Amino acid sequence: MTRNFCKTALTAGLLCLPMLPIAAEADVTPEQFNLLMTAANKDGGKDFDVLVGLLIAAHPEDAEEITRVAADIRPTPPEPPAEPETSTIPAAEGTIFSDDGAKQFSKYFLPGWDKEIELNALYATGNTSQRSFGAATQFSRETGPYKQTVASYFDYNNSNSVTNQRRYGVSYKNDYSVTEISYVTGFASFEGDSFGAFNKRFTVNAGYGVRAFDNETFKWNLEAGPAVLITKQEAIENYETVVAAYASSVFTWNINDRSDFENATKVFVGSQVVIENKTDYTIKVSGALSGKLSLDVLYNRDAPIDRKNTDVITRVGVLYDF
């Protein structure tokens, strides 16, 4: 008899196995379960949690059962889409041209300064018409309200052992912020141009600046003030000092994470008139390296009679930023 009872119990247990999911579902009403299943299968289950909250609010007495059943049938969130591959060429790891390498190098060479070194090929028209090469540097840093910028450039060409292009210059600029949108500035530079509209020139100016735009996408600084130009037009002449007024505009556009556009214009007006305009387009190539396309337009109204008053220089180069 005992054996018959055990067989009967075992048979009853096996017959009850298919009923276990129904038993789990019995903790909520069929209508509630159907709603949960529909929300779990629709649109990847994006409204599932909202429905669970509504059911609990409508039936607080069944909150525990609704929560437990919802946990069993909750849909698995979809995997986020893969990041699109960029066309940036990876820099050689472990070199000063990679991002990490440039950061390490920057710690040992003028730490605390943002540094740019540029090598370029250039094509000039005006007082010289030739293809040659050039180099430029720019170092800048901000300490409290001060921003300092030191820049230099050198253009050179030699054809058949004859030098017919030699331009060079160095400058220093110091800005002091008065308010969030205004600052005072001082600037000094020396330039030499053996074949241009002048032979040598010292420029000193001071002024007041306004940040018309200053955000992550656009920056536009406007300046004005007095200036002094000390110019030697010809190598055999003496320096001539002229007091003038100056105005400048520097506009920067951060197009995206890889490219930038900048246009800088400076005008001096007095007994001499000088206009300088420089346009740069920079695109990141790899790591700390960028490609750079520049167009310089230099106008000197009072160039010597045998010289042209406008020079146009186009540059294509590589920029190392660290």
pLDDT score recorded for residue 130 = 64
Segment holding 302, helix H or strand E:
none
In this structure, the dihedral spanned by the alpha carbons of residues 67, 68, 72 and 75, taken in order and rounded to 10 degrees, is 10
pLDDT of residue 77: 64
As beta bridge partners, residue 119 has: 135, 318
Closest residue by Cα to residue 226 from 209, 249, 203, 243? 243
Digit-coded pLDDT (tens) for 188-245: 999 999 888 899 999 999 999 999 999 999 999 999 999 999 999 888 889 999 999 9
User: Distance (Å, rounded) from C-alpha 296 to C-alpha 128?
Assistant: 14
Domains and CATH numbers, the chain: 2-73 (no CATH), 99-321 (2.40.160.40)
Of 141, 181, 115, 122, the closest CA to residue 320 belongs to 115
**The overall pTM is greater than 0.85:** no
The whole-number pLDDT of residue 243 equals 97
DSSP tag of 127:
S
Let me know: does 116 contact 282? Beta carbons within 8 Å. no
Q: Is 29 helix (H, G, I), strand (E, B) or coil?
A: coil
Distance CA 264, CA 147 (A): 17
Residue indicated by tokens 């509209």: 197
Residue 186, beta-bridge partner list: 174, 206
Instruction: Specify the pLDDT at position 14.
Output: 36
What does each C-alpha distance from 84 to 81, 88, 257 come to in angstroms? 9, 12, 14
- Listed as ranges, residues in the chain with pLDDT below 70 are 1-27, 77-94, 128-131, 159-160
Residue partners of 81: CB distance under 8 A and separation at least 6 = none
- Provide the pLDDT for residue 78: 61
CA dist 124 and 169 (Å) reads 17
Task: Tell me the two tokens of residue 270.
Answer: 């007095």
Under DSSP, the state recorded for 18 is G
Q: Which two tokens stand for residue 83?
A: 């990041």
* C-alpha distances out from residue 306 to 155, 198, 239, 302, 303, Å: 22, 11, 19, 11, 8
pLDDT, residue 23, reads: 39
Q: Which residue carries 């609990």 as its tokens?
A: 56
Contact 196, 167 (CB under 8 A): yes
- Name the phi and psi angles at 225, rounded to 5: 165, -175
Residue that the structure tokens 């246009």 belong to: 263
Residue count of the chain: 322
Residue 272: closest CA among 203, 190, 172: 203
Q: Please, are residues 234 and 243 in contact by the beta-carbon 8 Å criterion?
A: no
pLDDT of residue 90: 55
